[in-house]
Amino acid sequence: MTGATAPPPALSLRAALAELRAGPPGAVVEHDEPADRTRVADHFARAYAGVPARGVSRPEPAVLYTAVPGGPVLLGLYGDEERLRRWLPGLPERAAPETAARLVAEAVRPNAAPVAVSRPPCQEHRTTGARVDLSGLPVPVLTPRDAGPYLTAALVRAEDPATGRTALSAHRMLVVGRDRLTVWMVPGRQVKALYEQAVREGRPLPVTVNIGVPPAAMVASALNTRFLPDGLDKLAVAGALAGRPLAVAPALTQPVSALAEAEIVLEGYLDGSVADEALPGAEPRGSLPEFLGFDGGARPGLPVLTVTAVTHRSDPVFQAVIGPGREQSAVLGAAGALSAALSLRPVLPRAEGVRVRRLHFAAAGGGMLLLAVAVRKESAAADGGLAVLARELLERHPFVKLVVFTDDDVDVGCAEDLLWALVTRSNLGADATAWPRLPPVPMDPSQTPDWAAVRHGAERPPGRVSVDATTPYALRSRTARSFRPEAGLAATGHCR
């Protein structure tokens, strides 16, 4: 692969950075002053980050801190939805049930599957065995309250040799030793299922941890496996997003593949060993800033990943995210909208008269809590069909707190247009529906029992909510916009 034509931005972090550098000034910012790895996240948050890290609504630039020992460190690469769409030719312009289904259809085609290569860039430099020492990596400490240095933008690749199943997902990983990481696996993730099965059978689960991955892999990793065809590899979905297959290569010390274009790869295994999410000798307390903008809590007894090799490209770029900010919201939101669209397909016949035109996760909810759904009502029956969709979305997507339905003349990707629909096409006292039987989102402070007790005088949070901000079918002509958008603009456009 060495010496081949440079891959497109979808298939390489370096190619994505090169594309940004070739564009308008300001898309890539470099800081060459000496910087400690404990300070870069705070500097990025204060100078560049947007909602929900700070009350700023603007794209984030890609920022390279070139003078961090062991660096450079990259933050903000995905801090602009338009940037992602430009890099990923297979990403639907609007997430809807039919466009998500077409993407999956492309992913199951043989030409989307990952291809194995020899001499991959990610293995230009190799360290194995007793020489492995993670302290040489510029792993940021995001705040003084963090448990320690965390990997925040790394993808875990697992391949179960017994079943052939694969997993690809991002996890927060705390460096707790020269060759050890704790891994927080959110319930429901495929890698957690593979890990638990391996532990039950008394065998290790081999994995690679890929840092600085192709943009197509990053977005595909955030898709919900349960809504994909059984056995479909997320790397095949990444190939559909990129319009070309991703390159993989066998790891050196484990029977699992690595992303060939990754900047840095950690090879290792999970064998059932556990440790608290804390540095040796410390009690588990805080973890790191979560995607909603608040500090998270450390977890006891997390799986431990033992690293057997570290490989990297020449002059590797260490990519990280700060947690809250537009960057993580853009990735989670793009993948989440596709997952939500796929989950709706089985229930659409029961939502009579409703055509789902676009789904969009707002950055204000970290790309997960606030889902806006633009619909077209095709008959009077549609007035009652939205409740069917609301129940499906809230039951099958446990991080969705609020679903807002709008008409399809509203650009649900524009926060101001979404607010306009809420203000003019709903009366929240009557048009908001609480779903109290659904479990709360525990990382949201307003859904905790303490909050419910103080605010509502109740033991249980009031539940998740859907809002109908659509015009009743019989009254559509009375609320037509004076200046109507161009055909299709509200369903496919972006806030400007």
pLDDT value, residue 330 = 94
Q: What is the pLDDT of residue 1?
A: 44
Q: What is the β-pairing status of strands 154-159 and 166-170?
A: antiparallel
Cβ–Cβ under 8 Å, residues 395 and 438:
yes
Output the pLDDT for position 494.
54
Please report, as a single letter, which amino acid is at residue 396: R
pLDDT in the model for residue 486:
62
pLDDT of residue 3: 47
pLDDT (0 to 100) of residue 163: 83
Nearest CA among 171, 155, 165, 231 for reference residue 197: 165
Taking alpha carbons only, the member of 223, 320, 313, 331 closest to residue 262 is 313
Between CA 183 and CA 249 the distance in angstroms is: 23
DSSP readout, 290-341? -TTSSEEE--SSEEEEEEEEEEE-SS--EE---SSSHHHHHHHHHHHHHHHH
198-214 pLDDT tens trace: 999 999 999 999 999 99
Residue found under tokens 């009031």: 462
Tokens linked to 200: 């039950």
Q: What pLDDT score does 223 carry?
A: 97
Domains of the chain: 9-76+108-319 (2.30.110.10), 329-492 (3.40.1670.10)
pTM, full prediction: 0.95
Q: How far apart are CA 258 and CA 155, in angstroms?
A: 10
* Residue corresponding to tokens 């247009």: 417
* pLDDT reported for residue 2: 45
What's the chain's length in residues? 496
Low-confidence residues in the chain, pLDDT < 70: 1-4, 485-496
Name residue 126's amino acid. Answer: R
* Residue 243 tokens, joined: 């319009």
How many angstroms separate the CA atoms of 353 and 360, rounded?
A: 21
Q: How far from the centroid of its chain's Cα atoms is residue 305's Cα?
A: 22
Whether residue 469 contacts residue 428, with contact meaning beta carbons closer than 8 Å, is answered with no
